[in-house]
């Protein structure tokens, strides 16, 4: 059974760095076909893809956030980490991690999401 779970702070101050962790189970990070993505949804707005990480060919990022965003993985802990620097109230959103199937282009398993508020 594939599961993903997001964890991290629910409140972050402007200009700080947001670090979220996605803990996965039920699939192997060494699977070249599957990766892990971060996706967010600001209140009342559409979902926004942030970036992916795969086992073999590294990461890809949203153009809009590329300068502030890093996605990394710790295979030994089955975790994928999102780091977003210099956050702004506009970064307030529910952040999801999801497994992405690069052959089919879909997100077949998602976490519940974590609501992160950026406020002083």
Task: Return the closest-CA partner of residue 78 out of 34, 12, 17, 18.
Answer: 34
Indicate whether 112 belongs to the interface with another protein (CB under 8 A).
Answer: yes
CB-based burial label for 90 (10 Å; 0-12, 13-18, 19+): exposed
Closest CB to another protein among residues 39, 84: 39
- Residues forming beta bridges with residue 23, ordered by sequence position: 5, 79
Indicate whether 8 belongs to the interface with another protein (CB under 8 A).
Answer: no
Residue 37 tokens, joined: 């993505």
The least CB distance from residue 15 to another protein, in Å, is: 27
Indicate whether 21 belongs to the interface with another protein (CB under 8 A).
Answer: no
* Residues at the site binding another protein, with contacts judged by CB under 8 A: 4, 37, 39, 45-49, 60, 62-63, 96, 98, 100-101, 104-113
């Amino acid at each position: 059974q594939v599961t993903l779970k997001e964890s991290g702070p629910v409140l972050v101050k402007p200009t700080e760095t947001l670090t979220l962790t996605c803990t996965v189970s039920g699939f192997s990070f060494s699977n070249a076909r599957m990766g892990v993505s971060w996706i967010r949804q600001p209140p009342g707005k559409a979902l926004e893809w942030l970036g992916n990480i795969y086992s073999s060919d590294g990461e890809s990022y949203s153009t809009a956030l590329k300068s502030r965003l890093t996605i990394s993985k710790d295979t030994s802990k089955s975790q994928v980490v999102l780091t977003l620097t210099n956050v702004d109230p506009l970064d307030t959103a529910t952040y999801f991690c999801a497994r992405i199937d690069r052959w089919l282009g879909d997100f077949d398993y998602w976490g519940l999401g974590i609501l992160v508020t950026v406020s002083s």
